[in-house]
Structure 1
Amino acid sequence: MTTAAAEAAADDEIVVSNTPIRDSIAKAIGIKREAVNIVDAISSDTIGRFPDQTAAAALTRIPAVAVQRDQGQERYIQVRGAPSRWTNVAFDGVNVVGAEDRIFRFDSVPATVVSTLELNKTLTPEMPGEALAGRVNIKTFAPLDNQGLHINADAGLGFVDLGNGPVRSYGGRISWANDRIGILIGGSKFNFNQQTDNYEPRFNAGGMTQVRFAKYDIVRQSNAAIVKLQWQASDSSRITATGLYTAFLDAEQRNQYTFNFAGAASGTRSNTNGDLVAVPVTGLFQDSNYATRNRLAVLHGDHEFSDWKIGWDIAYSKATFSQDLPLVNQTTSSADALLRPSLTFVAGEAGTPVITLFNTVRDSSGRLVRGTQRSALDQTAFTSENLVIFRQRFDQDEKFAKFDVARDWSSLGADAKFTFGFQYNDRTFKDRGNEAILRPDGTAGTLLFRPTAAQLNLPWTPTQLITQESALGRINVGFDVNFVDNPAIRSQVDAILAAANAANAAGGTFAVPRPDPSLTNSVDEKILAAYFTNTWKWSRHTLMIGLRVERAEVDAAGAARIGAVLTPINLSSRNTQYFPSVHYGFDATDELKLRAAFITGTARPSFTDQRATVTINDAAGVETVSGGNPALKPERAWGVDLSAEWYFAPASLLSAGYFYRGVSNVLFDSTTVVGDNRFNFGGVDRSDYQFSTTLNGGDGYIHGAEVAYTQPFTFLPGALSGFGFQGSLAIIDSEFDTGAGRKVPFAGTSKWVTNAALYYEKYGASLRLSWQRRSSWTDEVSPGAAAGDLIWEAQQRLDFSARYDINKYVTLYADATNLTDERGLRYQGSRAAPFELEYFGRRFLFGVRARY
C-alpha cells in the first residue's frame, strides 16, 4: 500500500474527538504501518490542526532528525546525521529544489498549508534517486477528501523576551466539496521581532586576536498561500490543480563592533586575558533584507481503466533567494591613536572576553598608555566610513513531468502489482552575481561617504544617529553601548547612492555599487528517469523489487577572470546512474512488523559548486585558480535498513531500527592541482596551478540505530488516563576520507539525537511539554588540520503548548518556545577557542482558533 492509501486508511480508523495530539499520532502511525518502505510521518488531526507553526518545527519530532537553527529559529533538517543537502523535498509528490542552492528551508512552509509531512527514509523507485538521507513529501489538503463546507481560522499575538518584540500569527483555510468538485483556498502569515546577541572571538598562536560584538534586531515572516481545485470526473478519474506560494522574509538590522587586539599599539594578550593599549575598533551598521520564495503550479491526474491505473503530473516551480545587504563600515582613526580605546579583558562565559575600557593617553615621555577607565564605548570616535555591499540573487526554475502506469496481477502465488513510469526534470540555476563598488569605467573603487557626501552637498551624520536605547543583552561584554538608528543611516546611504548614480549619468566618476559580471553564472541540469517496480504480497510477506535509471546532463556557463579580463567558459558533463532497491516486510504477528531494505541513491553537487566561474592569478610564485568545478561527480551511496515495529495498542508504537549508508565520491572543499588544459586561456599553461574548489574526496559511511516509543496512558484510572508519551533516541556515527589524509565526520552528524514529549488530553484541554536535544556536531570541516574545524556545542530545547476547546467551534491556545533560554555556542577545534556565542531569547504566542 502506498503512503497515500495508508493515510486514507488511517483517516477511516480515527474518530474525531477532543484529543488532537493522540489523533495526529494515530494517523501518522497508520501511515507508517501500511507503507511498503520505511516512513515516519507528522500529521494534522482529524479536524485539520497541525501540531506546529512550521514544517521545520514539526520535523524535529521524527526519530533521528536533528534541526539546525538560525538565531534560534528552526530552519534546516539533518536526517540521520547527514548533511542538509542530502534530503530531497517534494510537495504532493512533485519535486522542488531548495532556493538556497538545493538546500530547502523548512521554515518557509507554515503549518496552514500542511496536511501531512512524510519522511521516506528508504526510497522506492518512483522517487528521485537524489536523496541519500531521505525524502520529505509535504502533503497539502485535498478538499474532495472532506466534503461539505469547512472553515479554519486562527489569530495569535505574543512576544519575544529578548527585546520584547511582538509575535503575530494569522491564518485561514476554507474548503468546499461535493462528490464531483472541490475547492480550497488558504493563507497564513507568521512574524516576530527579535533581538539576538552575538559574540565572536578569534585566535592565533599568540592568543586572542579580535572579538566581534554584534546586536541584531530582526523581523522575520513566514507567509503562504494555496489554491486547490479538484474535479472528480468519474468514480475512476480525478484531476487536481494546485497553486502554492511560500515565502520567508527577513528584515535585519545589525550594530556591530570589532576590537582588533592584534593591532594594538602595545600590550600583552593570551587566549584568556589581555592588557592592550590603543586598540583599533571597527563599527559596522546594516539595514538589510533577505527573501526566500517558492512558487509551485501543479496539474495532477489519477485514472483507472479496467486493471490499469495511470497517474501523471505536469508542474512548474520557481525558487528565489535574494539579499540586499549594504554594510556601512566605520573605522577609528589610524592617524590619531588617542581616539582608540585601551582595554583589559578576561575570559567570561564559554571563554568569550569580558572587556574593561579605558581612555588612551600619552605619558610624559610621549608613549601611548592606558588612561582613566570609562564605562561605555565612545561610539563617536570614528573618522572614516565606507560602503561594503552584498546584493545577490539566485533564481532556480524547474519544469517537471511524470507519468506512472500500474497494474494488479498474480505472480508466484501472490497478489502482485507492477508499476513503471518516466520522469523529466529541467532545471535552470542563475546566479546574478554579487554587486561590487565600481567606477563608471568598470574598475574597482571605494565609496568613502564623507568626501562623497560633501561633493554632492548631502548630509552624512552617522555619529549623530546614536540612540539612547541600550544594545546590551544576555552576554556580558563588559561595557555599555547603545543602538544606532540603522534605518536613518540607510536613508542617508540611499540618498548618496541615488545622487552619485545621477552624477555618473552626466559624466561623473563616482564609485558606486554595480553588478560584477565576473561573478555571474548559470547551470542547466536536465534529468530523464525511467523506473519500474513489482510488489508481491502474500499473507504475511510483502516484497518490492525495483530499478530506477537516471540520465543527467549538466551545462555550466561562466567566466574566467584574469586580472580585469573576462574569458567566457562553457563546460558540460553527462552521466547515467542506476538505482536498484529491495524492500521486504514481514507481519510476524498482527501487532509485530519486521522490515528490511536495500537501497541506492545519489546527491548531486550544489549549483554553486558546479559553476564555471573562476578567478585566475598568473602572478609569479602565486599561480592559482579558485572557483567552481563543473567536473564534479555526484556522491553515490548504497545502504541497508533493518527495523522492528510493535503496534501494541491504539495510537501506540515501540520500534527499533538500524541503518547503514556507504558513500563514495564525497564532496569536500579543498585544493589540488588543475591537472588538465581547461584553463589554458591565452596560450598560458595552467595545468600545474593550485586549484581551490570543491572536489570529490574518498569514501565514507553513516550508520546508526534509532528507537521510538509512543503511547497514550489510557489504561490509567480517572484523570490520569489523559497522559501520554512520545519519544525517540538515535545513536549515529559517520566518517569520510577527505582525500588529504584526514578522516572526519560528515557535517551535521550528532552522535545522539533525542526527542521526548509528555502530553495530557482530557476535559477539553490538550497540553504538551516537548524536549529536544542533539549532541555536539561538526558544522564545517577544515581542509587542513582538525584545529580548524568548526563545531557546535550540544543544543537542547524545551517547549510548551496548550490548547483548550471552549466548544466544538472555538479553541484557545498558548505556545512557549525555548523556555530554558538556551544559547548557541560554536568553537574552532576545541572549546578553548570559542568561535561564536549567541542568545536569542524565549518566544511566547497566545491566540484563538475557530473552525466550522
Structure 2
Amino acid sequence: MKHVRYSKILASIGSLYLTTCLPTSAFAQDAADQADDGEQRESIVVTGTPIRDSLLASTEAQRRADNVVNIIASDTIGRFPDATAAGALARLPGVGVQRDQGQERYIQIRGAPTRWTQVSLDGINVLGAEDRIFRFDSVPSVQIGRLELNKTLLPSMPAEALAGRVDIKAYSPIDNPGFHFSGDFGKGFVDLGQGPVNNYSARGSWANDTLAISAAYSKFNFEQQTDNSEPRFDDVGITQLRITKYIITRQTESYSGRLQWEPTPGLRFTGTYLDTKFNDFEERNQFRFQYNRAFSGTRNFETANLVGVPMDSTFEDGVFENGVKLALLNATYEGNGWNVSADVAYTRTNFDGDIPLVTYNTSTALNAPTLANAERFPSVQLVVNAKPGGIPFSTLYDTVLSGATLARGAQQDAIDQRQFTRQQAAESSYLLGTKSWTGKVAVDRQWDSMGAEATLSFGFQFDDRKQSNTVFNQILADGVTTGTLTINTAATALGVPWTPFDFITREAWDTDFPFGYNVNYMDNPGLRKQFDAVQAAARAANAVGTGNYAVIAPDPKLFNTVAERVISGYVMNKWKWDAHTVLLGARIENTKIASTGTSTVTIPAVGSAPAQLVLTPLAFQDEFTNIFPSLHYTFDATETVKLRAAFITGHARPSLEDMRATVSINDTSGTITGGNPFAIPEKAYGVDLSAEWYFAPAAILSASFYHREVSDVLFDSTSLVTDGRFDTGGTSREGYTYSSIVNGQDGHLSGVEFVYNHAWTFLPSPLDGFGVTGSLALNWGSFKTPDGSKVNFPGTSKSIISASAFYEKYGFSGRITYQTRSPWLDEVFPSGSAANSNLYWARSTRIDASARYEINKIFSVYVDVNNLTDERGVRYQGVPDRPYEVEGFGRRFLFGVRANF
C-alpha cells in the first residue's frame, strides 16, 4: 500500500520542469547557429494551435465522407487529457461515456446499448472479450492516428453494429517522410489518497520515398482510492449497508511497430503489430452491516435504532486484465482507375480476473444473533439519508447485556475489526479469451455511369473466431464438486500459519465520505500471501489423499467454447453528379455458430445415497444468412451546405458468452441456468437525415435526426421450459424455470443531434484565439420485454451535452471540457425478483481542464486536471432517493513535458 505526499510529487514536477527548460536555451542557441550556417531543418510537427488544426482536419474529412461520420484527428488525442481512446470519444456528438470508478471505459452511441457499438483497428474488427464489448481504456492515445465514428454503415463495413462503428487508425510513417520523434513524460497525483500518476510515451519514425518504419511505447498508470457506499432497501426501510475502500493501480501499457514498403508509386505493403493491455490492480477492504438481522430495534427510510447488528467483511488483493494483440498484413494498389486492398490479420483478446477473496464473519453472520452471541456485534444509531447520492451516517455502540436483554453500551469511534470468529475463502476468478483470423479483399473501380462519375466497389471478407471461457471455483478433491474452505480451521489442521488479525494496520482510511466512524486499512498483499500458503498446503493434502479441501481451481462444470465463422461479401456503386451523390449497395453475411459446454445435473439424495453431480457434454450448431441493403444520398446545396439522407440496415449478434453451451440443472429446485446457443441477432433498419453548414474553416453547424426499428431485442429473462431439449437420462424437464438471455419483442430508438464547432478567428487580436465546440443529443425509445412491458434500452440518456471552450495564442493552448448526460437505465430487474426495481445511473457531469505552453519548437509543458469538480458516481434503484451505489474517486492532476522533432 503506497501513499505519496504532495510535497514529493510537486518536487519531482519542479525538477522535471527545470530539466526541460535549462537545456533548451542552449538548444535554441545551437539552432540559431545552425540557421546562420545555412543548414536546413526538418519541419516541426507541433504547431501553436493544435486544437484548431485538429478541428480543421476532422471537419474536412467529415465533409468529404459518403456517410454520417464524426472524426477526431491525432492532435486532439495526443495533446490533451485523453489518456485513452475512451476519453477522446467522449467529446463526439451523441456519445455517452460509462465510467468505472471515474475512468472512461465504455461508450454508448446515440443512447444505444454498449453491445451495439463495433470497434475496428485499421479496418479489422476487434471482438471485445467481455460480451463483445470493447474496452476503450485499453487503447492509449500514442497508438492512435485518427478516430472515426461511423454512425451509418456502408456496405463495405461489417453489418454487426446497430449504433455505430469506431475505426481506430494507427499512425502511418510513410506519410511523414524523414525522421520524427515525439515523447511524453508526466507526473501527478490523485487527491483522494494522494496516489501518484505517471505517464510515459515515445514514438519514433523514419521514412524515405520507398521504406518507412515506426515504433511506439506507452505506459500510463495511477494509484487511486475509491470510496463506496452501497445501501439496500425493502418495503420497511434500509436493510443493509456495504462500505468499501478500494486501493487500485490502473495501468495501460502498449507496444506497437509498423513497417511500410512502397516499391513503386501506387503499390504499398504494410505490416503492423500492436500489443496493448489494461491492468487493474485492486485491493478491496469491505464491511457489511446486516440491519434487517439485528437482535432488536427499529428501522425505516429515515432512521434506524438497532441493537446487535451482524457484520462481515471481505478483503482482496487481485488483478483484472484486458488486452488486445493484433498482427496485420496489408497490401494496396492504386492505378489505372483501380484501387485494390487486401488484408490478413490475427487478433487475440483477453479478459481475465485473478480475484481470490477472504471473508471474515461469524457462524451467525447471515442470521439474527441471540443473547449468547449478540454482544460480539455493534449496536447502531443510523441516519439513513435516503436521498439522491445520500450516504448513511452511523453512530456505533457496544452491545451489552442488561438484565435479561441486550442494550446499547458505550459509543465506539471505529469498527471492531477483530470481532469475527472465522475466515472463509471466496472466489471470482476467470479466464476469457478470443482468437480471430480475418482475411478480406476490397476493390474499387472508377467508371462512367448514367452521365456521372461513378465508383463500383465490391469485396469479400472471412472471419473465424473462437472464444474459450474458464471459470474458477472452490473445488473439492474429486475435481468436480464445489465446496467452502474455512481458512482458520484448515490452517490449524494443516499446521500452517494463519494470523488474520496481524494484517490490520494502524492507518485509518483516507475518505471523503461521512460514515461516522473510523476504519483501518488492511495489509491486503500480506493477507494474500498467507492465504496462498494455506491454499498450497491444502492442494498438497488433496494430491496425496490426506485431505478433502475446497481449493481454488478451474471448474469443469463451467468451461465452454464458442466458435463463430462469418463469410461476407458486398457490392455498391457511387454516382456523383455536380451537386448530387448517390451510393447504393448491399452486404450479405453468412454466419455459423458452434458452441460446446457441459450440462451439470444435480441428482437429489435418495435414502443414504448422497446427492450426485453428473456432467454431460453439450454441443450446439446454428447457421443463418442475412442481406443488408443500404442507400446513402448527399446533396451539396451550396459550396458550404451539405444535406444527407440514408436508409441503413444491420444487426447485432449475441455475445459469444451468451451463446455458450453450458447449463446447470438442479432437479431438486427445478431450475436451469446458462447460455442460449439458440439466441439470434438483433436486427434493425432505419433512416438518418442531416444538414451540415461548413460556414468557415474549422467550423460546422449541423442538425441531424435518426430512427431505428429493432426486432428480436436481446433480454435477460426467466421462462418455463416447454420442450425436451434439456432432457437427459430419461428425466423430463419440461416445466422447469430457465434463466438465460433470450430474444424479446420489438423496439425503436430515435433522436436528434445538434453540433456547433467554431474557432473564433473573426475576432480581433488577442480574442481571436478563442473557440468553442459543442453538441446536444436528445434520444428516446423503448423495447418490449418478453412479458410485454415497455422499458428503455439500457444506456439511453434522454439528453447528452458536450461542450468545450478553448484558447490558443502566443504558444499557449488551453481547454475546459464539460460533459453531462441525464439518468440512464443500467440493469433491468424482472417482476418478482428480490429487488423488483430497475437500476439507473444518476445524471453524470464531468469537467476537465488542460493547458499547454510551447517553450520552443521542440519542448512544451502541460497540465491536465480530470474531474475538476470532484464528481461522484451514483446508481439508484427505481427512484433517485433509493441510492444503490455511491462512489467517490477524487480529482486527478498530471504535469508533464512533451518533445517533438
For normalisation by structure 2, the TM-score amounts to 0.91
Is residue 86 from structure 1 mapped to residue 116 from structure 2 by the alignment?
Answer: yes
Paired residues of 1:787 and 1:830 also in contact (CA < 8 A):
no
1:316 equivalent among 346, 354, 368: 346
Tell me by how many angstroms 1:456 deviates. Answer: 2.4
Is residue 655 from structure 1 mapped to residue 685 from structure 2 by the alignment?
Answer: no
1:10 corresponds in structure 2 to none
Stretch deviating more after TM superposition (271-280 or 650-659):
271-280
CA distance in 1 between partners of 2:554 and 2:236 (Å): 40
Which secondary structure does the structure 2 equivalent of 1:454 belong to?
helix
CA distance in 1 between partners of 2:77 and 2:187 (Å): 23
Tell me by how many angstroms 1:270 deviates. Answer: 0.9
1:3 corresponds in structure 2 to none
1:543 equivalent among 573, 576, 582: 582
Per-residue Cα deviation, 1:656-677 (whole angstroms, up to 9, x for no partner): 1000011000000111222222
1:5 corresponds in structure 2 to none
Tell me by how many angstroms 1:303 deviates. Answer: 1.1
1:589 corresponds in structure 2 to 638
Per-residue Cα deviation, 1:153-187 (whole angstroms, up to 9, x for no partner): 01000000010000000000000000100100001
List gaps (5 residues or longer) in structure 2: 1-43, 365-371, 603-612
Cα RMSD after superposing both structures: 1.5
2:173 corresponds in structure 1 to 143
1:340 corresponds in structure 2 to 377
2:592 corresponds in structure 1 to 553
Tell me by how many angstroms 1:232 deviates. Answer: 0.4
Is residue 712 from structure 1 mapped to residue 750 from structure 2 by the alignment?
Answer: no
Between the aligned residues of both structures, percent identity stands at 51
CA distance in 2 between partners of 1:635 and 1:584 (Å): 26
1:489 equivalent among 523, 527, 531: 527
CA distance in 1 between partners of 2:303 and 2:363 (Å): 25
Q: Which segments of structure 1 move beyond 6 Å, counting only runs of 4 or more?
A: none
Is residue 291 from structure 1 mapped to residue 315 from structure 2 by the alignment?
Answer: no
List gaps (5 residues or longer) in structure 1: 1-13
User: How has the CA–CA distance of structure 1 residues 50 and 407 changed in structure 2, closer, same or farther, with 3 Å as cutoff?
Assistant: farther
Per-residue Cα deviation, 1:197-251 (whole angstroms, up to 9, x for no partner): 0000111122211000000000000111110000002112101000001100010
1:695 corresponds in structure 2 to 742
2:622 corresponds in structure 1 to 573
2:415 corresponds in structure 1 to 377
2:887 equivalent among 832, 838, 844: 838
Paired residues of 1:43 and 1:50 also in contact (CA < 8 A):
no
Tell me by how many angstroms 1:371 deviates. Answer: 1.2
Is residue 26 from structure 1 mapped to residue 56 from structure 2 by the alignment?
Answer: yes
CA distance in 2 between partners of 1:472 and 1:790 (Å): 29
2:550 corresponds in structure 1 to 511
Please tell me the residue identity of whatever aligns with 1:776. P
Stretch deviating more after TM superposition (686-695 or 141-150):
686-695
Paired residues of 2:778 and 2:800 also in contact (CA < 8 A):
yes
Paired residues of 1:437 and 1:447 also in contact (CA < 8 A):
no
Per-residue Cα deviation, 1:75-129 (whole angstroms, up to 9, x for no partner): 0000000111100000111111012121000000000010100000000011110
Map of 1:236-275 to 2, 5 A cutoff? 236-275=266-305
Please tell me the residue identity of whatever aligns with 1:20. P
Which secondary structure does the structure 2 equivalent of 1:813 belong to?
strand
Is residue 802 from structure 1 mapped to residue 802 from structure 2 by the alignment?
Answer: no
Is residue 218 from structure 1 mapped to residue 248 from structure 2 by the alignment?
Answer: yes
Per-residue Cα deviation, 1:514-543 (whole angstroms, up to 9, x for no partner): 211110001000000010110000011111
Please tell me the residue identity of whatever aligns with 1:306. N
Paired residues of 1:44 and 1:51 also in contact (CA < 8 A):
no
Tell me by how many angstroms 1:15 deviates. Answer: 9.9
Paired residues of 1:248 and 1:292 also in contact (CA < 8 A):
yes
CA distance in 2 between partners of 1:787 and 1:677 (Å): 30
1:825 corresponds in structure 2 to 874
CA distance in 1 between partners of 2:479 and 2:349 (Å): 34
CA distance in 2 between partners of 1:214 and 1:292 (Å): 23
CA distance in 1 between partners of 2:146 and 2:501 (Å): 52
2:358 equivalent among 328, 337, 343: 328
Paired residues of 1:815 and 1:845 also in contact (CA < 8 A):
yes
CA distance in 2 between partners of 1:442 and 1:593 (Å): 64
2:502 equivalent among 458, 464, 468: 464
Which secondary structure does the structure 2 equivalent of 1:631 belong to?
coil
Is residue 116 from structure 1 mapped to residue 146 from structure 2 by the alignment?
Answer: yes
Tell me by how many angstroms 1:437 deviates. Answer: 3.6
Please tell me the residue identity of whatever aligns with 1:609. D
Tell me by how many angstroms 1:811 deviates. Answer: 0.7
2:683 equivalent among 615, 628, 636: 636
CA distance in 2 between partners of 1:441 and 1:652 (Å): 65
Is residue 65 from structure 1 mapped to residue 95 from structure 2 by the alignment?
Answer: yes
Tell me by how many angstroms 1:45 deviates. Answer: 2.8
Paired residues of 1:440 and 1:511 also in contact (CA < 8 A):
no
Paired residues of 1:16 and 1:47 also in contact (CA < 8 A):
no
CA distance in 2 between partners of 1:50 and 1:362 (Å): 62
CA distance in 2 between partners of 1:263 and 1:95 (Å): 51
Please tell me the residue identity of whatever aligns with 2:188. G
Tell me by how many angstroms 1:436 deviates. Answer: 2.5
Per-residue Cα deviation, 1:354-377 (whole angstroms, up to 9, x for no partner): 11101011112x212211111111
Which secondary structure does the structure 2 equivalent of 1:433 belong to?
strand
Please tell me the residue identity of whatever aligns with 2:384. A
Which secondary structure does the structure 2 equivalent of 1:154 belong to?
strand
Please tell me the residue identity of whatever aligns with 1:647. Y
Paired residues of 2:480 and 2:556 also in contact (CA < 8 A):
no
Tell me by how many angstroms 1:49 deviates. Answer: 4.6
Equivalent pairs, count: 836
Per-residue Cα deviation, 1:284-314 (whole angstroms, up to 9, x for no partner): 1010011001000000111135332211100
Paired residues of 1:708 and 1:727 also in contact (CA < 8 A):
yes
Tell me by how many angstroms 1:450 deviates. Answer: 1.1
Is residue 196 from structure 1 mapped to residue 226 from structure 2 by the alignment?
Answer: yes
Paired residues of 1:156 and 1:846 also in contact (CA < 8 A):
yes
Stretch deviating more after TM superposition (176-185 or 782-791):
782-791
CA distance in 2 between partners of 1:434 and 1:41 (Å): 42
Is residue 178 from structure 1 mapped to residue 225 from structure 2 by the alignment?
Answer: no
Paired residues of 1:551 and 1:575 also in contact (CA < 8 A):
yes
CA distance in 1 between partners of 2:96 and 2:118 (Å): 15
Paired residues of 2:630 and 2:649 also in contact (CA < 8 A):
yes
Stretch deviating more after TM superposition (799-808 or 16-25):
16-25
Paired residues of 2:46 and 2:857 also in contact (CA < 8 A):
no
Please tell me the residue identity of whatever aligns with 2:322. T
Please tell me the residue identity of whatever aligns with 2:146. T
Paired residues of 2:51 and 2:76 also in contact (CA < 8 A):
no
Which secondary structure does the structure 1 equivalent of 2:657 belong to?
coil
Paired residues of 2:864 and 2:894 also in contact (CA < 8 A):
yes
User: How has the CA–CA distance of structure 1 residues 382 and 470 changed in structure 2, closer, same or farther, with 3 Å as cutoff?
Assistant: same
1:680 corresponds in structure 2 to 727
Paired residues of 2:851 and 2:864 also in contact (CA < 8 A):
yes
CA distance in 1 between partners of 2:77 and 2:355 (Å): 43
1:499 equivalent among 520, 529, 537: 537
Stretch deviating more after TM superposition (474-483 or 701-710):
474-483
Tell me by how many angstroms 1:729 deviates. Answer: 0.4
2:861 corresponds in structure 1 to 812
Which secondary structure does the structure 1 equivalent of 2:471 belong to?
coil
Which secondary structure does the structure 2 equivalent of 1:489 belong to?
helix
Tell me by how many angstroms 1:719 deviates. Answer: 1.1
Which secondary structure does the structure 2 equivalent of 1:504 belong to?
helix
CA distance in 2 between partners of 1:122 and 1:244 (Å): 27
Is residue 732 from structure 1 mapped to residue 784 from structure 2 by the alignment?
Answer: no
2:816 corresponds in structure 1 to 769
Please tell me the residue identity of whatever aligns with 1:549. I
